[in-house]
C-alpha cells in the first residue's frame, strides 16, 4: 500500500554552518558536535547527522522498500527563530536547497517552507515564494519562537492568514521548552521525553483559545505524536475550559470541535497502541496521517508498528494516503 509521510526531517549544510558560526543559543559546537538549544539542553548529532544530510544513498532506498511514495521534507535545526539578519538569508538558502532536492527526485519529496518568523513581512514574502515559485506544500513552524514568544501572538497572525490564503497547511513541530522545570534534567526531559509535548500542547491550545481558527476558518495545522497527548484530555478540556471563561478566551466552540476541522495529527514518534486507540476514539481515523519522524525514529519501525494495529483496509488507506488529500497532498 502506497504511503505519504508528513514528517521526514533533513539538514541543509548552510543551516549547519549558520549554527556552527554562532556563539549564543542555539548554536552547534564543532568539538563535541552538539546543538545547544539553551545553556542546559544540548543534543549530540553523531547518531543522526548522516541520515539528516543524506537523500540518495539511504533515505530513498528505505522509502522504496516501505512503499512510501512521497515524503514532506522539513528542516531540523531551528534557524527560523534566529534574529532576522541571520534567519532571513539562512531560511532562503535552506528553502532553495530543498527545492533542488525536490527537482532531483521529482514526485518523491515535497517541500516544507522554513520562515524567518521574527520578521513577519519577510516571512510572508518567503512563504509566497516557496509556494508559488518552489511548489512547497507546508510551513513548518515551532511551538515557541524564543523565551516567552508564543505563536498565537497577534503580530504573527498575518503569517497564519497567508498559510490559509495560499491553500497550504502548517506543521506545528515541537521545539525545546524554556521552562527550568524541564531543562534542569537535560535534553531527554526538556525535549522528546516530555518538554516537546507540553510546549506544543500549550502552543496549539493558545492558538485555539485566541480565536484564530474562528477568524481564519480555513487554517489547517498538523500536530505530531498522535496529537501531543491532547486526545487523552479532550473531554476534560471541553469541560474545564468552559467553566470560568475570560474575555481573552475568544474561541467560539469547544476545543474538540477544531480537531478534524482545523487540527490533524500524525503518527510520528509514538509507537504505542493505546495512544493510537485513544487518538482514534477521540478525534477519528479521518484526522490521522502518517508521520515517521525520520531519522529521529526509523521509518521501518514506524511502518511495522502501524501495520501491527487492528485496522480495516479502508482505515489503513485513510491513514496512509487518503486523509492527506484533505490537506492538498495526493499520490
- Over residues 11-42, the pLDDT tens digits come to 999 999 999 999 999 999 999 999 998 888 99
Instruction: Please state the rounded mean pLDDT for residues 3-17.
Output: 95
DSSP letters along 308-320, please? HS---HHHHHIII
CA 279 to chain centre: 18
Instruction: Please state the rounded mean pLDDT for residues 319-328.
Output: 98
Distances (CA, A) of 122 to 7, 73, 119, 153: 25, 22, 5, 17
Across 44-48, 90-94, 98-102, 181-185, least confident range: 181-185
- Rounded Cα gap, residues 225 and 281, in angstroms: 15
Whole-prediction pTM: 0.97
Per-residue pLDDT tens digits for 201-218? 999 999 999 999 999 999
CA 60 to chain centre: 21
- Rounded Cα gap, residues 110 and 103, in angstroms: 10
| Per-residue pLDDT band at 325 (split at 50, 70, 90) | very high
Contact (CB, 8 A) for 254 and 230: no
Distances (CA, A) of 57 to 51, 62, 140, 275: 9, 10, 25, 33
Instruction: Please state the rounded mean pLDDT for residues 277-299.
Output: 97
147-151 own/partner pairs: CB under 8 Å, 24+ apart: 147/178, 148/178, 149/81, 150/203, 150/206, 151/203, 151/206, 151/207
What pLDDT sits at residue 178?
Answer: 84
Residue 222's nearest CA partner among 267, 280, 253 is: 267
Residue 143: is its pLDDT beyond 90? yes
Residue 312: is its pLDDT beyond 90? yes
What pLDDT sits at residue 187?
Answer: 86
Residue 76: is its pLDDT beyond 90? no
Q: Which spans in the chain are helix H? A: 13-20, 49-53, 59-66, 84-104, 120-132, 157-166, 180-183, 186-188, 195-209, 212-215, 225-228, 234-240, 273-283, 299-308, 313-317
What pLDDT sits at residue 7?
Answer: 98
Residue 319: is its pLDDT beyond 90? yes
Residue 182: is its pLDDT beyond 80? yes
Domain ranges of the chain: 3-13+51-327
163-177 per-residue burial string, b: 16 or more CB within 10 A, e: under 16: bbbbebbbbbbbbbb
Residue 276: is its pLDDT beyond 90? yes
58-79 per-residue burial string, b: 16 or more CB within 10 A, e: under 16: ebbebbeebebbbbbbbbbbbb
Contact (CB, 8 A) for 199 and 175: yes
Residue-averaged pLDDT of the chain: 96
Instruction: Please state the rounded mean pLDDT for residues 257-271.
Output: 97
Residue 77: is its pLDDT beyond 80? no
Neighbouring residues of 236: CB distance < 8 A, sequence distance ≥ 6? none
Across 74-88, 162-176, 212-226, 313-327, least confident range: 74-88
Give the catalytic positions in this structure.
293
| Number of residues written out for the chain | 331
Contact (CB, 8 A) for 159 and 152: no
* 27-29 β-sheet, strand order: 27-29, 34-38, 41-44
What pLDDT sits at residue 110?
Answer: 98
CA 270 to chain centre: 14
- Fold classification of 3-13+51-327 (topology level): TIM Barrel (3.20.20)
| Per-residue pLDDT band at 242 (split at 50, 70, 90) | very high
Cell, residue 271: 509507537
What pLDDT sits at residue 300?
Answer: 98
Would you give the end-to-end CA distance of the chain in angstroms? Answer: 11
| Per-residue pLDDT band at 183 (split at 50, 70, 90) | confident
Amino acid at each position: 500500500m502506497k504511503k505519504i509521510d508528513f514528517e521526514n526531517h533533513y539538514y541543509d549544510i548552510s543551516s549547519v554552518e549558520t549554527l556552527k558560526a554562532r556563539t549564543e543559543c542555539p548554536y552547534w559546537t564543532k568539538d563535541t558536535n552538539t546543538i545547544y538549544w539553551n545553556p542546559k539542553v544540548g543534543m549530540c548529532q553523531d547518531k543522526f547527522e548522516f541520515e539528516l544530510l543524506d537523500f540518495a544513498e539511504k533515505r530513498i532506498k528505505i522509502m522504496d522498500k516501505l512503499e512510501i511514495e512521497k515524503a514532506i521534507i522539513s528542516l531540523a535545526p531551528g534557524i527560523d527563530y534566529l534574529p532576522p539578519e541571520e534567519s532571513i538569508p539562512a531560511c532562503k538558502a535552506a528553502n532553495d536547497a530543498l527545492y533542488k532536492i525536490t527537482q532531483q527526485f521529482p514526485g518523491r519529496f515535497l517541500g516544507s517552507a522554513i520562515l524567518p518568523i521574527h520578521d513577519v513581512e519577510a516571512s510572508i514574502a518567503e512563504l509566497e515564494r516557496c509556494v508559488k515559485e518552489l511548489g512547497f506544500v507546508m510551513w513548518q513552524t515551532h511551538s515557541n519562537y524564543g523565551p516567552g514568544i508564543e505563536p498565537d501572538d497577534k503580530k504573527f497572525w498575518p503569517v497564519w492568514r497567508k498559510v490559509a490564503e495560499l491553500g497550504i497547511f502548517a506543521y506545528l513541530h515541537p521545539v525545546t521548552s524554556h521552562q527550568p522545570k524541564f531543562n534542569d534534567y537535560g535534553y531527554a526531559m526538556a525535549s522528546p521525553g516530555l518538554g516537546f509535548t507540553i510546549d506544543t500542547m500549550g502552543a496549539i491550545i493558545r492558538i485555539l483559545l485566541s480565536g484564530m481558527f474562528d477568524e481564519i476558518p480555513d487554517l489547517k495545522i498538523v500536530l505530531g505524536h498522535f496529537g501531543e497527548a491532547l486526545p487523552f484530555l479532550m473531554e476534560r478540556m471541553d469541560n474545564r475550559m468552559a467553566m470560568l471563561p475570560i474575555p481573552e478566551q475568544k474561541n467560539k466552540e469547544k476545543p474538540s470541535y477544531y480537531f478534524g476541522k482545523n487540527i490533524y495529527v500524525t503518527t510520528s514518534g509514538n509507537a504505542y497502541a493505546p495512544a493510537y486507540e485513544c487518538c482514534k476514539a477521540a478525534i477519528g481515523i479521518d484526522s490521522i496521517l502518517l508521520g515517521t519522524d525520520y531519522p529521529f525514529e526509523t521509518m521501518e519501525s514506524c511502518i511495522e508498528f502501524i501495520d501491527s494495529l487492528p485496522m480495516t483496509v479502508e482505515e489503513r488507506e485513510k491513514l496512509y494516503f487518503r486523509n492527506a488529500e484533505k490537506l492538498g497532498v495526493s499520490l
